[in-house]
Amino acid sequence: MGTIKSHKGKHLSYAKWGYIFLIPFFLVYCIFSLIPMLSTFYYSFFENYMSGLNQIGPNFVGLANYAKLISEGDLLKYTANTLIMWIIGFVPQIAVSLLLAAWFTNSRLRLKGQGFFKTVIYMPNLIMASAISMLFFALFANDGPINNILMDLGITSESIHFMSSTWGARGLIALMNFLMWFGNTTIILMAGMMGIDPSLCEAAEVDGATSMQIFTHITMPLLRPIMVYTLITSLIGGLQMFDLPQILTNGLGQPDRTTMTLIMYLNNHLFNKNYGMAGALSVLIFIVTGALSIVVFKTLTSEKG
Amino acid sequence: MEKEKSYSAELRVKRAICYFVLLLLTLACLFPFLMLLINTTRSHSAIQQGFSLVPGGSLAANFNNTVHNETILIVRGMLNSLFVSTATVVLSVYFSAMTAYAIHAYDFRIKKAVMNFILLIMTIPTQVGALGFVNMMTAMNLKNTYIPLIVPAIAAPAVFFFMKQYMESSLPLEIVEAARIDGSGEFYTFNAIVLPLLKPAIAVQAIFGFVSSWNNYFTPALMLTKAEKKTLPLWIAFLRSADFAKFDMGQLYMMIAFSIFPVIVIYFLLSKFIVQGVALGGVKG
């Protein structure tokens, strides 16, 4: 009896260590993330901004900031900008990544130099987004190298003003996003495809299925959880789009604020000490990403079965 | 027999298409950086005259001008970035491993809830707390210090998640039991026995952590306003806001190169590691 009891006691003392090891994480999380986030939500209910050099507020105004945010119309415009730029980057990204992942894992094709290609296409993902954006700004400038090359090749007779047209600027941002992320997506999808039992594909092959049929009827359905994960994490990342358009347009979202994203909008409010509006905007972004996060959470926990 | 032949011919055509597409994508990924590299070797006037694939002879001049530029402190920025990124990585890897170990090695009542909580907050963007964060750091007099950039790395849900996955596959609890029998304390076991076993996971996360801190722009932009404190991305943003028409383009490309090429060099040295790491992080179980 005594021994069992002491054994139990020992077990409990180990559990204590579990809690102790969790302390740093939760302490830091509370101070640097949770409390700031809650105080952000709190700010959203107050009128609090700078009018010239005078600080107005904080006065409690209930949901007035939210009403103002939604009725002003900018929110809708910037949400649309963000989503449009995300979509025109993501659609080619997922298409190319699926194609490459299918090719790389295809046992009949046996492509050589896979290690090299994977290394190269992943590389842009690690490079400073702001530096890539600055580089593209210089390369695609009106008298920049890209225009020089296009004119030397006779493709265009006068320089193309990429950054002063809406679709030119959005296209550049989407292009950078595509270059930065398709390698990452390819590798994740590849890992998913390699997890598929090869005997399934072999059996289908024996039954006379073409590689296209195998892809659409076996690979794609089995890949669904990873596709959902990729889609939602990319959307969450897309909603946070900031560095690329911020640097490319110097924070102005030119032309005519058509490349202004939600986080750029938030950033402007923060720099103008427009705290009430910044708070309300943060809450809205939180709600949207929170809802999306739950989907990711579900795919992460259900996959383990 | 005939069917076999047309089959292999088809395969050859298909392979050729694959290689062609891969080559195009490789070119798309490398060409901007090749242009950057070439332009760092050319003088302002040469760059203005048009692009050429032939490197110029101004590499040393551009380098010297950049290093000695007294308004744009790129070298200082680089050292600052190096310090912040290194400190961030050490904290985030060590404490994420500790948090993961708490969940992996111990049984306690709220374990499942803790795990779910961390997974749930993993995808919440840091930006949604930015307002409260800025105000709090201002109130605590921590603006223009590196504390707001470094210390929060202790709570890194994504690194925790990776470590947790790795422990599930490669850290048998028998080792911990054996250490206990030998009289090793829990804290000592973690530091001296568990951490060394996590080396592969630590290496992967160290690389990613370093790079993401090196590239981070949003939070530093809110925290650092003094020139001597600024990190590299802030100088890149400063370049963009400077009067472009008057700027020495050779220097401009050199400054971009300073922020890009260290990462590219590290990447090609460690690429095998990194690509495996991405695959590991993407798939679970």
What pLDDT, in 10s, does the model give residues A91-117?
999 999 999 999 998 878 888 888 899
Half-sphere exposure of residue A236: CA atoms within 13 angstroms, side-chain side: 24
Residues 6+ apart with CB under 8 A from B63: B254
Position B281 scores a pLDDT of 57
The reply to whether A112 falls in a domain is yes
A36 domain-assigned: no
Cβ-contact A304, B285 below 8 angstroms:
yes
A248 contact residues in B (CB cutoff 8 A): 240
| Inside any domain, residue A53 | no
H-type alpha helices, chain B? 2-40, 44-49, 59-67, 74-105, 111-121, 130-139, 147-150, 157-170, 173-181, 186-188, 195-197, 199-215, 218-223, 232-241, 249-282
Q: Is residue A5 part of a domain?
A: no
- Which residue from A minimizes the CA distance to B253? A135
How far apart, in Å, are the Cα atoms of A142 and each of A133, A279, B40, B220? 15, 38, 19, 31
What's the pLDDT tens digit per position in B113-147? 999 999 888 888 889 999 999 999 999 999 999 99
Q: Which amino acid is located at A2 in the chain?
A: G
Q: Domain B71-242 - what CATH class?
A: mainly alpha
B47: pLDDT strictly greater than 90: no
Which of A60, A31, A58 has the alpha carbon at shortest distance from A45? A60
pLDDT in tens, A178-192: 999 999 999 999 988
* Res B284 pLDDT > 80: no
**What is the DSSP code (8-state) at residue A57?**
E
Does residue A213 lie within any of the structural domains? Answer: yes
Q: How many CB atoms lie within 10 A of CB B30?
A: 15
Write down the pLDDT at residue B2: 55
With beta carbons under 8 A apart, name residues in chain B contacting A236.
123, 125
> Hey, are the CB atoms on B155 and A136 less than 8 Å from each other?
no
Which residues partner with A50 through β-bridges? A55
Question: What is the per-residue pLDDT for A304?
Answer: 47
Q: What is the pLDDT of residues A236-275, one digit of tens each?
A: 999 999 999 999 999 998 898 999 999 999 999 999 888 9
Please tell me the least confidently modeled range out of A91-95, A152-156, B128-132, B211-215. Answer: A152-156
Domain coordinates of chain B in residue numbers?
Answer: 2-59, 71-242
Mean pLDDT of chain A: 87
Contact B186 A17 (CB under 8 A): yes
Q: Where are the alpha helices (DSSP H) in B182-248?
A: 186-188, 195-197, 199-215, 218-223, 232-241
Structure tokens that stand for A43 in this block: 């700010």
Whether chain A has a CB inside 8 Å of the CB on B182: the answer is no
| Euclidean distance between the first and the last CA atom of chain A, given in angstroms as a whole number | 39
Query: Which pLDDT score, from 0 to 100, does residue A154 have?
Result: 86
| CB–CB contact A18 B103 (8 Å) | yes
Percent of chain B past pLDDT 90, that is, above it, reads 59
Cβ separation B129–A28 shorter than 8 A: no
Write the Ramachandran bin of B183: left for phi over 0, alpha for psi from -120 to 50, otherwise beta. left
Q: Which of A46, A240, A32 is nearest to B134 (CA)?
A: A32
Pair of tokens at residue A48:
């609090």
Counts for chain A of helices (H) and strands (E), in that order? 14, 2
Note whether residue A152 is domain-resident: yes
Predicted confidence band at B5 (pLDDT cuts at 50, 70, 90)? low
Can you tell me the mean pLDDT for A49-78?
85
Domain of A198, in residue numbers: 64-303
Q: Which of A17, A137, A278 sits opposite B240 (nearest CB)?
A: A137
What is residue B4's predicted lDDT score, i.e. its pLDDT? 61
Residue B270 pLDDT class (50, 70, 90 cuts): confident
User: HSE of B47 in the Cβ direction (CA atoms, 13 Å)?
Assistant: 26
Chain A contact present for B90, CB below 8 A: no
Distance CA A267, CA A286 (A): 15
Contact B119 A301 (CB under 8 A): yes
Domain count for chain A, please give it.
1
CA-nearest residue to A288 within chain B is B124
Q: What is the CATH number of the domain that holds A211?
A: 1.10.3720.10
Residue B21 touches chain A, beta carbons under 8 Å: yes
Place of tokens 């270059």: A179
Q: Would you tell me which residues 193-232 of chain B have a C-beta closer than 8 angstroms to some C-beta of chain A?
A: 211, 214-215, 217-218, 221-222, 232
Of B16-25, B173-182, B266-275, the least confident: B266-275
Model confidence pLDDT, tens digit, residues B217-231: 999 999 999 999 999
